[in-house]
Structure 1
Amino acid sequence: MVRPRTVHDVAAGKLCTGCGVCAYLAPDEVRMVDVLDHGRRPLPITPVGANGRGATAALDCCPGVRLGHEGSRPAPGEIAALRPAWGPVRAIWEGYAADPSIRYAGSSGGVATALAGHCLTGEGMAGVLHIGARADVPYLNETRLSRTPAELLANAGSRYAPASPCDRLDLVESADGPCVFVGKPCDVAAVRMARQVRPELDRKLGLTIAIFCAGTPTTRGTLEMLDRLGVADPARLESVHYRGAGWPGSARARLTDDPPERRRELSYAESWGDILQKHRQWRCYLCADHTGEFADVAVGDPWYRPTGDDPGQSLVLARTERGVRLVEAAIAAGTLVLTPVAADILPASQPNLLRARGAVWGRLTTLRAAGLMTPRLRNLPMAGIWWRHLSTVEKLRSTLGTLRRIGRKRLREPAALDPYRPPAQAGPTQLGSTQAGPAQAGSSAADPAQTTGRPLSK
């Protein structure tokens, strides 16, 4: 089986998650760019081979190729029944942010935003590293260090688009005090590995929050969604929201010249179900951690509840003692309104994620038999879930379907990592193309975040 030698091999082999930890660990060698049909990807600043020590060392912290727990047995204080399929869980709550504006803006109950805000105002932390929409290109993301609850609220809600929050972990290292990190499960897993080799980062991380994730759509997916919303020219886009303003909320877009009464909306089923989920990057199909097993706190949707008129609910998992302490402190401070729930609420809330984890075993087994590169997953049980929770049809899809994907997704060919340039900078013809063409190749015309090796930040 093929083994990567650097993070560039991971990206070429289509196993990159886009987290950006390599750009943080090797900023002189690696820059993160957006690739239209793949996601955020690391490109070399200097020619590969000229000075590749950083890109090689970063491989040790890459969640695209390695992920695992130290042990398989539940530690004291963990809920033993959940450990095999859901990772370490010490406490489960359901509820929402006490501030109605945060609850309304959030994708579910606004708990991630409210908890991060409590860490700023109630725990004296210095900042929150997270992602938000780029001011100049609202359908792309950038990494930000927010220092006030108002800044957090301005960026509340899911961003179903490529993001690399780990690329600016240097902002946490250089902060005046401990900080919160908010990201997808793979991002938090990368942070966990990076803090083991960067003592100052470890010292400055006050809390990690993971958002349940079913996969990251590429920028191609966002552009298709915008087209469905009637946005013919994304250069005129003022804002785009993927969820929020209710639960689960709708996808919304606004152009700079839209009249106040103009509404461009798609339901969650239309935006995620019909469009975005079909554009997920390949590594997401091989993900065994959709619920943030390496975080202090993980937050997701309690889908067992009916949606519609409900203003929003969050399912909250405390996975570490630190997570338990800070969630309980936020409850005591009146920032969060949470009620403890039974352990079986987790699988009832996310049955699709449980089956997705089982399907990964079938995919990995098939890919290894075909001699293709796969991630190394340790103490993340999957085979039993594949056997017990998948139907016969689902088992066949995970194996025979993967054989078909090898050809359809060209998994034996290296990914073409041409940087995407927004139409305002690349010209009006780019969006009409169905494939990333020569007009998107890296050059000095790429966006500012791509030419500096560091994304724009506040």
Structure 2
Amino acid sequence: MVRPRTVHDVASGKLCTGCGVCAYLAPDEVRMVDVLDHGRRPLPITPLRAATRAGDSGAAAGGGAAAALACCPGARLAHESARPEPGEIAELRGAWGPVRAIWEGYAADPEIRYAGSSGGVATALAGYCLTGGGMAGVLHIGARADVPYLNETRLSRTPAELLANAGSRYAPASPCDRLDLIETAGAPCVFVGKPCDVAAVRMARQVRPELDRRLGLTIAIFCAGTPTTRGTLEMLTRLGVPDPARLESVHYRGAGWPGQARARLTDDPPGRQRELSYAESWGDILQKHRQWRCYLCADHTGEFADVAVGDPWYRPTGDDPGQSLVLARTERGVRLVEAAIAAGVLVLTPVAAGILPASQPNLLRARGAVWGRLTTLRLAGLMAPRLRHLPMAGIWWRHLSIGEKLRSTIGTLRRIGRKRLREPAALDPYRPPAQVRSGTAAEPAGRPPE
């Protein structure tokens, strides 16, 4: 099996998650750009030396890039053990990772609950860490100011800033690219991201002691995969947006549960509604544009986070203003969730362990299918991520039908050709239409201003 030598190998091999941790660890060597059909990807700031192309990656990449590969969730994910520790719910450990407590509920503030994609718990808990937990900021993503269908990383310091960015962003994002803002903060901070983002943070804090000291809480959002920018553009077309350069705002969910995808143009008259249902936006469009690495993901529920939040899909949606399923995976997570409940910020009720698999049945089967895909890729001699202590084979055997087993193996063989997995990815930066007309660069050469 082929193994990556640098983060650029991971990206060209179509295993990159787009988290941005490499740009944080090697800011003088790596920059993150948006690639239309792949997602956020690392590009070298200066051309790679011939030694790298010949195989001497260490000489050309230097310490920063070497550390970046060691912390890359696209290349590897690993728990220290597959066995439950004292205090964890043993029956969930094998398929869902470490879980110490499970609640269901919502943000007490109705405005936060309404704006959130489910019950607003991630936003409310992060806000409590600012107002009641003595933390300095929350690192998360939000709509890019100049191109609202793209994302950028932000450090929010007030609950109002968090509320302005509430709701899912089903588009490429690199929240780890600005972990330096946490590292240099005057007090501990919260990190909010997808499971792969939080896994990258978990690895990065092991090599950056100051980052470790400044991380007060990590919150992961359940994830079924990241669609590329191509997916958002198709969704905007379906929403009746003729020119993305005229876009004023786009929302993927929220304003109810699960909420509508919504877009507004700068010249839309008051009251003009451009909407798609969740089934139309995610089910018909966005999920078809997920990056390849998401099909190889065994952690959809944030196993490396302190707290993970997702949708309790076993409940009927529609009239409900929103519910969140909340998992505390560490003792720190338990303490802060319980403190937020006691402070009246969260309205949560403990639920039985069986609620988790009932809420996310598709994610359980997806994890099992990953084993078949990884096995097929390795037998085909292709690059695949290394996953340790994330059990999959038993789920493949027990929970997948014969048809699903065949799709995970034979289907992967077909994808090798259809997705051209033997060919390196073409990582050409995407230039938004407005920037093409103005002649400005699509992405900054280094880190954006704080």
> What TM-score do the two structures reach when normalised by structure 2?
0.96
1:243-282 paired onto structure 2 within 5 Å: 243-282=253-292
Find out whether 1:226 has 2:219 as its counterpart. Answer: no
Matched, 1:19 2:19: yes
Taking a change above 3 Å as real, the CA distance of residues 282 and 206 of structure 1, as seen in their structure-2 partners, is: same
Q: Could you tell me whether the CA contact under 8 Å between 2:6 and 2:61 is conserved in 1?
A: no
Distance in 2, Cα, partners of 1:402 & 1:441: 42
Shift of 1:23: 0.2
Q: Structure 2 vs 1, CA of residues 320 and 51 (structure 1 numbering), >3 Å: closer, same or farther?
A: closer
Distance in 1 (alpha carbons) for counterparts of 2:230 and 2:243: 14
Distance 1:161 1:283 in 2: 15
Q: Following TM superposition, by how much is the alpha carbon of 1:46 offset from its aligned partner in structure 2, in angstroms?
A: 1.3
Work out whether residues 205 and 212 of structure 2, in 8 Å CA contact, stay in contact via their aligned partners in 1.
Answer: yes
- In 1, Cα distance between equivalents of 2:273 and 2:437: 32
Deviations, residues 23-64 of structure 1 (Å, cap 9, x unaligned)? 000000000000000000000001217554422221000000
Is the 8 Å Cα contact of residues 195 and 300 (structure 2) preserved in structure 1? yes
Q: Distance in 2 between matches of 1:441 and 1:386?
A: 51
Deviation at residue 305 of structure 1 after TM alignment: 0.1
Normalised TM-score (structure 1): 0.94
**Aligned-residue offset at 1:440:** 13
Of 441, 444, 450, the residue aligned with 1:448 is 444
Identity %: 91
Once residues 88 and 372 of structure 1 are traced to their aligned partners in structure 2, the CA distance between those partners, rounded to angstroms, is 30
Partner Cα distance (1:440, 1:157) in 2: 30
SS of 2:139's partner is strand
Assess if the C-alpha contact under 8 Å between 1:8 and 1:55 holds in 2: no
**What is the alpha-carbon distance in structure 2 between the residues aligned to residue 51 and residue 8 of structure 1?**
10
Assess if the C-alpha contact under 8 Å between 1:418 and 1:441 holds in 2: no
Shift of 1:72: 1.0
- Aligned mates of 2:443, 2:198 — CA distance in 1: 26
Judged with a 3 Å threshold, the aligned counterparts in structure 2 of structure 1 residues 329 and 236 are, in CA distance, closer, same or farther, namely same
> Which whole-Å deviations, capped at 9, do the CAs of 1:119-166 have from their partners, x for residues lacking one?
000011000000000110000000000000000000000000000000
**1:406 CA drift (Å):** 0.0
* CA 1:195–1:441: 2 relative to 1, 3 Å: farther
Say whether 1:242 aligns with 2:239.
no
Decide whether the 8 Å contact of 1:286 with 1:360 is kept in 2.
yes
Q: Are 2:313 and 2:360, in contact at CA under 8 Å, matched by a contact in 1?
A: yes
Corresponding residue for residue 212 of structure 1: 222
Aligned residue for 2:349, secondary structure, equals strand
Residue segments in structure 1 that go unaligned for 5+ positions in a row: 426-438
1:391-430 equivalent positions in 2, closer than 5 A: 391-425=401-435
RMSD: 1.5
- Secondary structure of residue in 1 paired with 2:207: coil
Does the aligned pair in 2 maintain the 1:421–1:440 contact within 8 Å?
no
- Say how many residue pairs are matched: 439
Quote how far apart the aligned CAs of 1:448 are. Answer: 3.5
Deviations 1:168-217 (A, max 9, x none): 00000010100000000000000000000000000000000000000000
Deviation at 1:236, TM superposition (A): 0.3
Structure 1 SS opposite 2:66: helix
The residue that corresponds to 1:88 in the other structure is 98
**Is the contact between residue 31 and residue 454 of structure 1 (CA under 8 Å) also seen in structure 2?**
yes
Q: Give me the whole-angstrom Cα distance separating, in 1, the residues matched to 2:338 and 2:32.
A: 37
**Contact 1:420 1:441 (8 Å CA) reproduced:** no
Gaps of 5+ in 2: 49-58
Contact 2:19–2:200, Cα closer than 8 Å, also in 1: yes
Alignment deviations for residues 399-438 of structure 1 (CA, whole Å, 9 cap, x no partner):
000000000000000000000010011xxxxxxxxxxxxx
Partner of 1:4: 4
**Stretch moving more, 402-411 or 44-53:** 44-53
Distance in 2, matches of 1:33 and 1:43, equals: 7
Secondary structure at 2:16's aligned position in 1?
coil
Question: Does the CA-based 8 Å contact 1:418-1:440 persist in structure 2?
Answer: no
* Partners of 1:386 and 1:256 in 2: CA distance: 49
Residue-by-residue CA offset, 1:63-83 (whole Å, 9 max, x unaligned): 001101001110000000000
Q: Is contact 1:25–1:58 with CA below 8 Å preserved after alignment?
A: yes
Structure 1 residues 80-133: Cα deviation after superposition (integer angstroms, max 9, x where no partner): 000000000000000000000000000000000000000000011000000000
The answer to whether the 8 A contact 2:125-2:346 is kept is: yes
Aligned residue runs from structure 1 range 277-292, under 5 A: 277-292=287-302
Q: Is the 8 A contact 2:103 2:351 kept in 1?
A: yes
2:60 counterpart SS class: coil
C-alpha distance in structure 2 between counterparts of 1:31 and 1:72, whole Å:
35
Report the CA distance shift for 1:440/1:340 in structure 2 as closer, same or farther (over 3 A).
farther
Deviation at 1:260, TM superposition (A): 1.1
CA distance in 1, matches of 2:348, 2:63: 47
Give the Å deviation of 1:261: 1.7
What CA distance in whole angstroms lies between the structure 2 residues aligned with 1:51 and 1:387?
Answer: 41
Distance 2:296 2:444 in 1: 32
Asked whether the 8 Å contact 1:364–1:374 carries over to 2, the reply is yes
